[in-house]
Structure 1
């Protein structure tokens, strides 16, 4: 059961309407790294999670992602139509005063001319910034906690970087403040998911089968093509930054027989 609290998680503010930036911001509304995709990812994981603590964590974060979706949606509407909340800041000659006097362009019509992905009566639609509709294919839940948590950390990292790029593309102080809040929450979620992963003993490799011992530790190097044989640089990087214990191998992999696997 969900209860709608009309007070948003964070005060959303937009200083100037900007349909072009609204189109970019759609990436976090209906895109693969956006808030709806995140909410659906964590809900599907949480509903299937037998561990009470992980279930509670996943559903808490999923619910927060819906509040983030609301914040992005409100930002989009304000970017497209102008912000009623800025009435208190009216200054003679500013965009809002002109808008109220009927002297400015119709921001709804302006938004409709910014791309088919903004057709929705001037409001946001569930598409990415290029107009591709949202799809459940963005939800990559596998049903294995260790694998899903690793995917969640990566998803939050992608969302964080996307917000970072959006912030750099905006010169609107209000928008940047809102996006900075959302970006920072992605960082917090990464840390929470990493903590949940660390709480699972023996979480690597995910699943119940360990695989072939030799193949699992082999670093297979390709030839550099300059006549000097395979390079060890990638091997050294992996070996020096992991306790896994890799073995350098430049020979073709010899597959185990079916009998060995059985």
Structure 2
């Protein structure tokens, strides 16, 4: 059973209303890396967790994330408080009220639809979605995802701190940012408390492929490092000589029943293209300046695409 304590986990002191800043703060209220997403991620993981220690950890942090949701939501509400009162009571002149609501972000949406209260949206007004929750039910996979989630949230808090000069908000955001660090440490400990925590899952990888590094992006900028070079890696640079990497011919095939094979052949014959054709198309009929060569046009022996382009654009 949940019990709500009316005192915040951390005191919120906002110097002055700022609806635009409020809309930016919503990123950590209803955004992908926000507090609601974190609470739901860890809460659902905890309900399905079989290990007593990890279950306790996940439910502890999930519940704390709800308290952080309350802190960031209170910041949003305080930043919107002046605009909410002005709009509700129509105390300002219409032009001034309009300007205060449309200064930037989605502050107008916060004022008109939600009356200045925090909405479950991100800073662009996109509604919160359970699609933010990326749990897979495997502790080694989920702990790594949680570590990454805490890291991302820490970075977002850094950026929010950098865009405000309100000392009270900076102070509260600094607290929330630091709790992301603490949670990351806890998840790291929980991950490495599992013996044989890599790779995730039960099945081992195929040994002959596990240490291969494929250099598929080649050219200027190729860089050697511990991620692709050394005793841990068998590196492939000559893709023409080594692909496919297995003993097959690198094509896709399927064994069809006789009837299916006959129908597939009919389909292929009916939809076959004629490589010798050069049909006139709607592009040719509507071609204007800059369209490039059209069907049947004599380019006068252009040798390459640059010559052809020049001739096609010539008056």
| TM-score interval (norm. to shorter) | 0.7 to 0.9
Per-residue CA deviation, residues 134-189 of structure 1 (Å, 9 max, x unaligned), is 00000111100000000000000000000000000001001100100000000001
Which structure would you say has the larger Rg? 2
The Cα of 1:12 is off from its aligned counterpart by 1.1
Q: Tell me the secondary structure at the aligned position of residue 235 of structure 2.
A: strand
Shift of 1:252: 2.4
Unaligned runs of 5+ in 1: 83-101, 258-262
Q: Partners in 2 of 1:185 and 1:70 — Cα distance?
A: 14
CA distance in 1, matches of 2:55, 2:124: 34
Q: CA deviation at 1:196?
A: 0.3
Instruction: Please name the residue that 1:2 is paired with.
Output: 2
User: 3-state DSSP class of the match of 1:74?
Assistant: helix
- 2:221 is equivalent to residue 252 of structure 1: no
Alpha-carbon shift at residue 246 of structure 1 (Å): 1.8
CA deviation map 1:7-41 (0-9, x unaligned): 11111111111111001000000000000000000
Greater relative contact order, per chain length (Cα 8 Å cut-off, separation 6+): 1
Cα 1:7–1:173 change in 2 (3 A) is same
d(CA) in 1 for partners of 2:8 and 2:91? 31
SS at match of 1:142: coil
Q: Which runs of 4+ in 1 moved over 4 A?
A: 102-113
Query: Tell me, what secondary structure is at the counterpart of 2:208?
Result: helix
CA contact (8 A) 1:80 1:111 kept: no
Q: Which segments of 5 or more consecutive residues in structure 2 lack a partner in the other structure?
A: 83-89, 249-315
Secondary structure of the structure 1 residue equivalent to 2:227: helix
1:238 alignment counterpart: 227
In the alignment, what sits opposite 1:95?
none
CA displacement at 1:212 relative to structure 2: 1.0
CA distance in structure 2 between the partners assigned to 1:103 and 1:27 by the alignment:
30
Q: Is the 8 A contact 2:228 2:235 kept in 1?
A: no
Task: Measure how far apart 1:117 and its partner are.
Answer: 4.7
Does the 8 Å contact 2:46/2:54 carry over to 1? yes
Offset at 1:115?
3.1
CA distance 1:20–1:54, change in 2 (3 Å): same
Distance 2:234 2:208 in 1: 9
Residue 30 of structure 1 contacts residue 134 of structure 1 at CA under 8 Å; is this kept in 2? yes
- Separation (CA, whole Å) in 1 of partners of 2:171 and 2:93: 26
Aligned-CA RMSD value:
2.7
Partner of 1:68: 68
TM-score normalised over the length of structure 2: 0.68
Q: 1:68 to 1:105 in 2, by over 3 A?
A: farther
